[in-house]
Amino acid sequence: MKRRNFIQKAGLSAASLAATPLLANDRVEKKSQKTFSTKNIPIVICTWNCPNATAKAWEVLEADGLALDAVEQGVMMEESDIKNQSVGKGGRPDREGNVTLDACIMDHTGNAGSVVYLQNIEHPVSVARKVMEDTPHVILAGKGAEQFAYEKGFKKVDLLTEKSKNEWIEWKKESKYKPIINIENHDTIGMLAIDKQGRISGACTTSGMAYKMAGRVGDSPIIGSGLFIDDEVGGATATGMGELVLKTVGSFLIVELMRQGYSPQEACEEAIRRIVAKNTNYKDFQIGYLAINKAGEVGCYCLHQGFSYSKYTKEGQVEIKSDSYLNS
């Protein structure tokens, strides 16, 4: 529709249009002047119990480093940990036996980078950061992402460990395609950090659903679903069955609810309620949300019991159990 026709159809006058940008600018102006308490800052939080990841991120934050460096280096710990079979090296493969990784990163300026369906690279989060910093794009996929990683100096790595390979061979005997809730109490790693300067960043990384269809991509590398950051408000990240998060754009929803005045806890609970309202089969899946506002207040909520998060602040490291929608 041509702009003039649209204006006529919408019944907008030239005067009202002229006024709109002024109001919007005014709103931005007010928000940018907002100040936040710094008593809880710096802080890093991470889905699941990942003390090594949060400790690494804390090292960066304590040394007055960037939140962006903290979240990248933090989640890299899990990507390299072959005991964590839902992220990076050692991740469970798809049904064809290929380990395919998804990751994204987002900084306090609203910049973001992502890789999907990436193979043979141990640190997808770092490739996502290169996409963000060295290309005009947000997402690179598959072979293109892998080629880009080699051009940036990343080494080819065999991601399939003996353990994950043997479990996949066992799985193939029945090939049941059903997600297992809280699989080994580990799923996607989503990390959010605020540094000493008050800058917020986040990262999210996963090998996705075990034995997924070849080519399947979940929520984790999708900005707004697996992760969203807005330096005016806060950030959110997700873990669990990505399809449910994708369909409700969960992390963006949580940040927007916080913008409207919800606490991080209230926003996470509302995002879970949206999933319950829209999916009659919600009991078959686990979803966990983790959120933080710019004052360093944290919220966390999940569908089933069993989800927790790690937090590192001046007071040290703690694991905190999440409240859940379902209590059994």
Q: Cβ of residue 174: shortest distance to ligand GLY, in angstroms?
A: 22
Q: Cβ of residue 307: shortest distance to ligand GLY, in angstroms?
A: 12
Among residues 220, 310, 322, 324, the one that binds ligand GLY under rule CB under 6 A: 220
Provide the H-helix boundaries in the chain: 3-10, 14-32, 51-62, 67-80, 124-134, 142-151, 162-172, 242-248, 250-259, 264-278
Is residue 188 involved in binding ligand GLY (CB under 6 A)? Answer: yes
How does DSSP assign 150-216, residue by residue?
Answer: HHTTPPP-----HHHHHHHHHHHTT----PPTTGGG---EEEEEE-TT--EEEEEEE--STTPPTT-
Q: Which of 47, 54, 100, 188 is catalytic?
A: 188
Is residue 206 involved in binding ligand GLY (CB under 6 A)? Answer: yes
Q: Which is nearer to ligand GLY, 196 or 247 (CB)?
A: 247
Among residues 99, 105, 209, 292, the one that binds ligand GLY under rule CB under 6 A: 209
Near ligand GLY in 88-147, by CB under 6 A = none
Among residues 91, 202, 224, 240, the one that binds ligand GLY under rule CB under 6 A: 240
Q: Cβ of residue 309: shortest distance to ligand GLY, in angstroms?
A: 15
Find the part of the chain contacting ligand GLY (CB under 6 A) among 54-62, 130-138, 159-167, 233-241.
Answer: 233-241
CA dist 144 and 156 (Å) reads 14
Is residue 34 within 8 Å of residue 233, measured between CB atoms? no
Q: CB burial class (10 A; 0-12, 13-18, 19+) of residue 232?
A: middle
Q: Any catalytic annotation for residue 248?
A: no
Q: Cβ of residue 242: shortest distance to ligand GLY, in angstroms?
A: 2
CA dist 125 and 136 (Å) reads 17
CA dist 325 and 271 (Å) reads 11
Is residue 179 within 8 Å of residue 285, measured between CB atoms? yes
Binding residue count for ligand GLY, defined by CB under 6 A:
12
Q: Cβ of residue 240: shortest distance to ligand GLY, in angstroms?
A: 6
Q: Which is nearer to ligand GLY, 40 or 251 (CB)?
A: 251
Chain positions contacting ligand GLY, by CB under 6 A: 187-188, 206, 208-209, 218-220, 239-242
Active site residues: 188
